[in-house]
Amino acid sequence: MIAPKRVRVLLLVGADGDLPQGGVLQSESTPLAKLFAEAGGALDLTIVSLGTSRAFDGAVDHTRLDRLPPSHTDRLLRSVGAYAVRRQFDMFPIGRLLNSLGPIAPSRVFWRALMKHPDAMQLLRASDIAVATDLETTKAAWLSVHRRWVDDAYYDHRALALALANQPPLSS
Amino acid sequence: MYRALATANAFARDGWKVTVLTATRDTFERLTGSDPESEKFIDPRVRIVRIPFVPERDETDLREWSRARLYSPRLWDYVQWQLSGRDFPELGYGMWKRPLVAAAEQIHRGYPVDLTVGTANPNVDFAPGMHLRRVFGIPYVMDHRDAWHLDFHTGGRLGRRLGRSRRLERRLIDNAMEAWFVNEPIREWYSREFPRNAAAFHVVANGFDPVFLTQGTDARVADGTPADPGRGLTIGYLGTIYGRVPLRETLEGWRRARAESEVIARSRLVFRGRLGHYAEPDAEVAALLDEYRSDGVSYLGPVSKTQVMAVYRSFDALVLLLARSRYVTSGKVFEYAATGLPIGAFHHPDTAATSVLRGYPRVFPVAEPTARLIADAFIDMAKHTASAGPQDAIRARAWAAHLSRDAQLTPRITALWTRLQNQVRGS
């Protein structure tokens, strides 16, 4: 008898992964919760994060992008003080809007870190579904589905809370 | 949301045939967070018509996101926000006017409507009532859960006096059969703004919903079993945390109280509910709570209304955090009182909720929400909680009985029925 194909879901977690999560009510429906329900346990969850120290008990693998040094672009941006400016701009709405337009937009920083990490890229290409858990990771998930590395990609800001709570039947 | 649910149920119980026009479940799940379990409490006689809000804004399938949205989701949101006010002058919601009005008209053509009740915010919810009044002469009621142009913090007016939304509000109020407000200060403010319509303004306060407070076996709260100070107390907050609530002051006060009180040093401060008004948690609030994690502070996520009793049962005392405003009552103050638990009222005495709790036998207010005064109140409340007996909880709950939602809603619904009957007889 042939075992049913396991669905490989990659959760992309940005810099806010260490913050307390908003949580999800058991009865609420989110894209990740639907995937869990549809897979009926035949689902492998892997995590690629920018550096959360949280433990994901049910995940098959957790790759941290911050374990490798930043890209040349990011080192250059840091050396000219762009990150310090971003921190200041993050404190007010227009500043956050301006931050989102330039090279230090969190989504671009995440994408560069992902591209620089061969293991993470391999994980992404080997996944069936990519789930962006915050706005910071939407660019990576969007590009991966448009480049056909994955079959589907979702933005699900409650996915991390769901994965942390380990509510659904994760893979053994 | 619970006020709207209770209002529809109250009309249905009173014999009205009720149709609720609302957004799809997806809308609530993606934008504000939802509580699907509470749907079980909708009166079965109520018919629900759901229409989508703004499909593209809710989209979670990233294949459907445009390059522009991906380039800067913030800029995309900002542009959408600005465009939303074209049909109805309410940023973020105005674009819902057309689908709402079309759906309301369809409902009316299927089964003629006698009265429309719009509950806001969003204020675009008043649009169907205005439309049915204009086209078919059907009266409408404006139920304000907030207030459109009142700045809750300063008591001033939001927007320009002759601005588009102000002119629309005037037109809405001029044509409304009644306008409801959640407390007297807001009603007074509206009476000053619209003096010639003041007779149509009524206070329909929030209240606690007994049905949610009797869910599950209410072992400890029901019999008022005293807390065990030896194991430490669990002091809880249940509700949405948003706006200018004295959260940092409370956390700092808690830290000080732990240093000064052995009971509190063994105790926990637990937050339940949503962080902010949107489905995405407010990162600043989350970070602030996290800062005090080592002080016995924990955030345990939102709670379905159907589970609130179980959560209250796990608490020995409550903290009520509200922004300073003579216009803020909140909904939770009524529910808090109905539990009979001690309440640390850590808001400025000016806040409208003060008057709701006046006379409650187990309230621990502060003269000013500073860390020092909050620490003292925590210590006093812990002493009281540790020494209280079952009679204290029973007495407090008996006092709160007058704060039920039905006690607020029923008189107004009866009055509306009488008015409509008189109109029919007079015509």
Q: List chain B residues with CB under 8 Å of A18.
A: 290
Q: If you measure CA to CA, which chain A residue comes closest to B274?
A: A22
**A:133-152 residues touching chain B, CB 8 A cutoff:** 135, 138-139, 141-142, 145-146, 152
Give me the pLDDT at residue A159, please: 82
Instruction: Confirm whether A102 is domain-assigned.
Output: no
Query: For residue B73, which residues of chain A lie inside 8 Å, CB to CB?
Result: 100, 107, 135, 138
Q: Which of B26, B28, B62 to mutate to test the interface with A (most CBs of A within 10 A)?
A: B62
User: For residue B167, what are the contacts with CB-CB under 8 A and spacing of at least 6?
Assistant: none
Residue B63 CB partners (closer than 8 Å, separation 6+): A145, A146, A152, A153
Q: Which of residues 58-77 of B touch A (CB under 8 A)?
A: 59-63, 65, 70-75
Cβ–Cβ gap B70/A142 under 8 Å: yes
Give the HSE-up count for residue A82: Cα atoms under 13 Å, Cβ half-sphere: 18
Domain presence at residue A54: yes
B280 interfacial to chain A (CB closer than 8 Å): yes
Q: What is the pLDDT along chain B (427 residues), one digit of tens a residue?
A: 678 988 999 999 999 999 999 998 877 776 666 677 778 889 999 999 999 887 677 788 999 999 999 999 889 988 888 888 888 999 888 989 999 999 999 999 999 999 999 999 899 999 999 999 999 999 999 999 888 999 888 888 898 888 999 999 999 999 999 999 999 999 999 999 999 999 999 999 988 888 777 644 344 454 555 566 677 899 999 988 877 889 999 999 999 999 999 999 999 999 998 887 666 677 788 889 989 999 999 998 888 877 888 899 899 999 999 988 889 888 889 999 999 999 999 999 999 899 999 999 999 999 999 999 999 999 999 999 988 888 999 999 999 989 988 888 999 999 999 998 888 776 6
Cβ of A101 and B60 within 8 Å? no
CB spacing of A138 vs B283 below 8 angstroms: no
Which one of A20, A26, A156 has the shortest CB-CB distance to B286?
A: A20
CA-based nearest distance A166→chain B, Å: 14
Measure A139 CA to nearest chain B CA, in Å: 6
Instruction: Confirm whether A71 is domain-assigned.
Output: no
Chain B neighbors of A101, CB-CB under 8 A: 71-72, 75
In a domain, A76, yes or no: no
pLDDT digit string (tens) for A103-159?
999 999 999 999 999 999 999 999 999 999 988 999 999 999 999 999 999 998 878
pLDDT of residue A43: 85
Asked if A118 reaches chain B (Cβ–Cβ under 8 Å), the answer is no
Domain count, chain A: 1
Q: Nearest by CB to A29, which of B29, B286, B290?
A: B29
Helical axes A118-126 vs A106-116, angle rounded to 10°: 100
Q: Which residues share a beta bridge with B23?
A: B51
Return the CATH number at A153. 3.40.50
Assigned domain for A96 exists = no
Give ∠ CA A115-A121-A126 in degrees, rounded to 5. Answer: 155
State the residue range of the domain holding A156: 7-65+108-170
Which distant-in-sequence residues (6+ apart) come within 8 Å of B330 by Cβ? Answer: B206, B239, B320, B322, B353
Strands (E), B199-301: 201-203, 234-238, 268-272, 297-299
Q: Specify if A47 maps to a domain.
A: yes
Q: Is A161 in contact with B283 (Cβ distance < 8 A)?
A: no
In a domain, A45, yes or no: yes
Q: How confident is the model at residue A21 (pLDDT cuts 50, 70, 90)?
A: low
Of B71, B274, B299, the CB nearest to A20: B299
Specify whether the CB–CB gap between B286 and B312 falls below 8 A. no
